Amino acid sequence: MEVLQEDDTLETSRRVVEELAAQVRKMKEYLPKVISPEVVSGYVKGLDLEEECNSLKATMNDQRQRESLLSRKCDSLMTSAEHDKKECFQLKQEVASMNEMLAEQASFCSTVGSTTCNLLWKMSHCTGAVESILTGNMLVGFLQLASSSLEGFLETCDALVREESPEVDFIMAICGVLTNIFATPSGRDYLMTSGYGTTLTNQYISVLAKAVKSERLKNIVLMAIYNISINQAGLDMVASRPGLVPALNHMLTCSSTSGNHLQTLKLIQSLAAECSTSYAAREAMSQISGKLIGKFSKDSNMEVRAVVRDILTDLEQWQREP
Q: What is the pLDDT of residue 12?
A: 73
CA gap 316, 36 in Å, rounded:
130
Contacts 24+ apart (CB under 8 A), 138-144: 139/190, 140/194, 142/177, 143/194, 143/196, 143/200
> What gap in Å lies between CA 129 and CA 180, rounded to an integer?
10
| Per-residue confidence (pLDDT) for residue 161, from 0 to 100 | 44
Which H helix or E strand runs over 234? helix 232-239
Using alpha carbons only, what angle is made at residue 164 by residues 161 and 168, rounded to the nearest 5 degrees? Answer: 90
> What is the reported pLDDT for 180?
92
User: One digit per residue, pLDDT tens: the chain, 322 residues?
Assistant: 555 566 667 677 778 778 888 888 877 776 666 666 676 677 678 778 888 888 888 889 888 888 888 888 998 889 899 999 999 999 999 999 999 998 888 778 878 878 888 888 888 888 888 888 888 777 888 888 888 988 888 887 765 545 667 778 888 899 999 999 988 888 888 888 887 878 888 888 888 877 567 788 889 999 999 999 988 888 898 888 888 888 888 888 887 788 999 999 999 999 888 888 888 888 888 888 888 888 888 888 899 999 999 988 888 887 776 5
Query: CA-to-CA distance for 75 and 67, rounded, in angstroms?
Result: 12
Cα 145 from chain centre: 22
| Euclidean distance between CA atoms 49 and 194, whole angstroms | 98
DSSP states of 67-126 as a string? HHHHHHHHHHHHHHHHHHHHHHHHHHHHHHHHHHHHHHHHHHHHHHHHHHHHHHHHHTTS
Q: Is 36 left (phi over 0), alpha (psi -120 to 50) or beta?
A: beta
**What residues contact residue 121 under an 8 Å CB cut-off, 6+ apart?**
173, 176, 177, 180
Q: How many residues does the chain have?
A: 322
